[in-house]
Amino acid sequence: MRGSLPLRTLARLSRDTQRDPDGDDAFGHSPGLSGSAIAPTAPPAPVLVGDHSEKRHCAALDRIDSKMCRGLEEGSRAEHYASRADTAAGYERHRKDPARTLRCLLLQP
């Protein structure tokens, strides 16, 4: 395998010297995308009512909708718990505030 590496390199170099100045290779292909990648494709046909794939299509749409709603619920749940964490941190700062402790001690009879 190692012995064939220089031969492959020489073959590649000889192919590179055969290129045209405009960038086409020896076979006349341009170095861009292939023809099938450039060709426009037709949009998919809509699922017809009563078609054999309608049930599967509706189930797929329901799955997409439920996953999207679940993601939105997770986002609102994360906001809720972030707010709860901020509130808890604020209460801890208030509870351990030395000025508050002194006020409580001075106000006691």
Torsion of CA 11, 17, 23, 28, to 10 degrees: -60
DSSP for residue 17: H
Per residue in 27-54, pLDDT (tens digit) is 556 555 555 555 567 777 777 888 888 9
**What pLDDT, on a 0 to 100 scale, did the predictor assign at position 74?**
94
Averaged pLDDT for residues 3-12 = 66
At 86, the pLDDT band (50, 70, 90 cuts) reads very high
Contacts of 94 (CB under 8 A, 6+ apart): 100
Q: Is the pLDDT of residue 5 over 70?
A: no
Minimum mean pLDDT range among 20-24, 54-58, 88-92, 103-107:
20-24
Q: Is the pLDDT of residue 73 over 90?
A: yes
Written in H, E and C, the secondary structure of 31-54 is CCCCHHHHCCCCCCCCCCCCCCCH
Q: How far apart are CA 100 and CA 35, in angstroms?
A: 77
* pTM: predicted TM-score of the whole model, two decimal places: 0.42
